[in-house]
Structure 1
């Protein structure tokens, strides 16, 4: 039996700020239970829902030295969906209204968490063969495994993997403070180890010291070896190319299933979407006060409203797009200028544009189920989950060919009758607009072709099963 420990800063259903939580919460359930015993360890945040806290059982506690100070570490556990979860408790570090806040606090918080997660293992009697770390918050674990913990019999042969969910976030702070917090000797803070451009960098430490590095799509694994996508670490990614692999994320096919989704007005599947899907569109037009029209080409957007997601392109050409025979439904929060831009367009084109500047799980499901197309023109996208959900719901994605979007959406080819969506290559507003117009043209004038695109989209398999097999293969290789 191979034992694997996932260490992460967030995990569905306990705490979530982004796609990382979906991965850590879903993936462990899909491993072959006969061969792999996979468990998860995350912080016990004060802002978690009380119902989860009530289900946790106290396991043990101890005091751990953080360089020159001693800190309390509590360990709680629970079983959920057949997976064992551990929670590291310390109210000094994990209080507050949200899991992350100020980077200077987070730097210390996750140094504590990384060390505590390893220190707890002998006491909970779980000795993993592989510690699978996620993103910068756990970047110190591979470093600690080669340093502080390397001498002990318990940790000696433990291997580590780090998965980069988004290279933009690296956990960077000044060397002096990080040395003081971590207690790591000066030896580790050189340019070939944790130091980058004069500062200490947690993610870099993880990448340098892990036995294997993965990221969340094959294209992104190639892109981050180039300066444009490499966020200053492209040289390191090239150096580690022999241990770097891209494994595309999946989505939970039980949670995102148009045939059983409890949030939507009318359930449907790949056989019945032609007559049933439209009922969701009618209901959404009604709910959001859009002009009621079955035939209107309806485009959905569910996203963080940030530069990364390509909103400067949408902003630039939105007026022109609204001259077309289309409707837009936007859901999300983010940078103020984009929030305000969409409020403005909703006011200017009422009946055509609906801007919902908040987040709602229910409305996101309704958008996936109701719209005809889904727009995602990202500047970069390590994997992206929204396009996988829209494929699942038969809502045709229009994406830019980058990262996971390129790997998961096959562009429509009218001559060969292939493809599951529409895509454009350059980061250019007019190129995006042309893709939207092309999709609209097929929708209005070649309805049978459009329905075949939906058939292929709903037939694609981006459940976790195939990704889990690739992770298993990597674990065996290690």
Structure 2
């Protein structure tokens, strides 16, 4: 079985978020299970050819080999090679993103035909690659690619690739596709909509999110298109890399620790974190952490709503991340007012993030919506207990703690309100005060399996099912 991954981000070459994690880590996990995988990416200006052993194939293409079962091909063009960013600069999208990603989609199929590699499944990711299933149907009916099946994975319904309809001629498609059945969307063109209609299979990144995007609240205007498909959308939880996020081997934390060293490891890392951040070194006060973008989706406003009330309790808070200036200003006001209780940094620091995951007692994740989420999985891998709103991937990966049954690995709140969130925080403080309960909760969190190996097995089932249909 040969799978071709088409994406505009993939670690270790290019990444701005979770999409890059998936499109770099999942192919590696599949390759370890003897699946032959090719990744196609744009060759961005910042990708270091020497560092990654990238060699030219021709003027349109270059190549790197990651493992015996995994090749990476880079589409060469000034659209990518002469720009500093992936999507834009200084927070603004490039005005020619339609042309940039149209070219990538078109070139992917030309490249696959040129390489003459057997391609069973073309796995597309998000709107940037959603034209590929349409081009395959329209322009490759009599090609060696004609039998290839397509999967589109939606990582976030809010990002759809919507452009003015007058730019449709740039897509080099017949008028048939400039219709309500394919790309037309309220007088505009919508890349993601076209991909949903044309793909053989649509997946997303959690079972709960697969249900949510069929509703008006989360479907972002495409819930009807998703419902019209004959096959239901399938949700598969992402994984995390245990080569990167593993307290037993992590060289970025003060003290590594295995499962049987949990309490000693957490205590040492908490003390080091408090020392680094100049917080009082106290083990009797629970330390709550937030590592994320400071944006509306992540529920930063909800944290700020309870902050004054929360800091009146015997707690410490650490916040790490970049984002909206209004949130930075409000958080800064609290760090100035309560320097011994809250610390914040508005520049992302990877090494510090590792130490925060290892040193914190609880991890705050009150996201309004979360297709999958990685931070809750990372925190659990370090024995740090997530406190999360019950939505999307958070609902699938975090089980609320039941002390009577000694079950559960986190704390969930069901309504997105100040009252419910604060109640979850109080519950965390109460559990922290009972060391036996807290130890059980931490052990449960540490025992959760969110490996890419598990996710790869689920995707292999989807691939096999699609090929046998």
Pair in the same fold by TM > 0.5 = yes
**Aligned: 1:475 with 2:459:** no
What secondary structure does 1:147 align onto?
helix
TM-score by length of 1: 0.94
Does the 8 Å contact 2:43/2:80 carry over to 1?
Answer: no
After the TM superposition, which residues 409-420 of structure 1 pair with which residues of structure 2 at under 5 Å, given as runs?
Answer: 409-420=398-409
Rate the CA distance shift 1:166–1:34 in 2: closer, same or farther, 3 A: closer
Alignment map for 1:433-444 (pairs within 5 Å):
433-444=422-433
* SS of equivalent residue, structure 2 residue 139: coil
Q: How does 1:77-116 map to 2 (within 5 A)?
A: 77-82=63-68, 83-101=70-88, 102-116=93-107
Question: Structure 2: which 5+ runs fail to align?
Answer: none
* Residue from 139, 143, 162 that aligns with 2:134: 143
Tell me what 1:175 maps to.
165
The aligned runs of 1:392-403 (5 Å cut-off) are 392-403=381-392
Deviations 1:321-374 (A, max 9, x none): 111111111111111111222222111111211111011111111111000000
How much has 1:255 moved relative to structure 2? 1.1
Deviation at 1:122, TM superposition (A): 2.2
Question: Which residue in the other structure is 1:270 paired with?
Answer: 259
Secondary structure (helix, strand or coil) at the match of 1:242 reads coil
Structure 2: how far apart are the matches of 1:283 and 1:166? 36
Match of 2:303 among 292, 314, 318: 314
Q: Distance in 2 between matches of 1:424 and 1:120?
A: 48
Cα distance between partner residues in 1 of 2:112 and 2:403: 56
What CA distance in whole angstroms lies between the structure 2 residues aligned with 1:456 and 1:124?
48
In the alignment, what sits opposite 1:447? 435
Contact 2:45 2:80 in 1 (8 A): no
Number of residue equivalences: 461
Aligned-residue Cα RMSD (Å) equals 1.4
Whether contact under 8 Å (1:129, 1:157) holds in the other structure is yes
The 3 A distance-change label for structure 1 pair 359 and 81 is farther
1:136 and 1:344 mapped to 2: Cα distance? 39
Question: How far apart are the structure 1 equivalents of 2:32 and 2:120?
Answer: 15
Instruction: Map 1:451-470 onto structure 2 (within 5 A).
Output: 451-470=439-458
Change (3 A) 1:89 1:52: farther
> CA distance change for structure 1 residues 307 and 25 in 2, over 3 Å: closer, same or farther?
same
Q: How far 1:93 sits from its partner (Å)?
A: 4.0
TM superposition score normalised by structure 2: 0.96
Matches within 5 A, 1:64-463: 74-82=60-68, 83-101=70-88, 102-150=93-141, 152-177=142-167, 179-240=168-229, 242-444=231-433, 446-463=434-451
State the partner residue of 1:69. none
CA shift in 2, pair 1:187/1:35, >3 Å: same
In structure 2, which of residues 33, 54, 57 is the aligned counterpart of residue 56 of structure 1? 54
Q: CA deviation digits over 1:95-137, x for unaligned, max 9?
A: 2221111253222101001111111112223231110000011
Whole-angstrom CA distance in 1 between matches of 2:8 and 2:79: 16
Residue 250 of structure 1 aligns to a residue whose secondary structure is coil
Contact 1:298 1:373 (C-alpha < 8 Å) held by counterparts: yes
Distance in 2 of aligned mates of 1:338 and 1:94:
34
Moved over 6 A (4+): none
3-state SS in 1 of match to 2:159 = coil
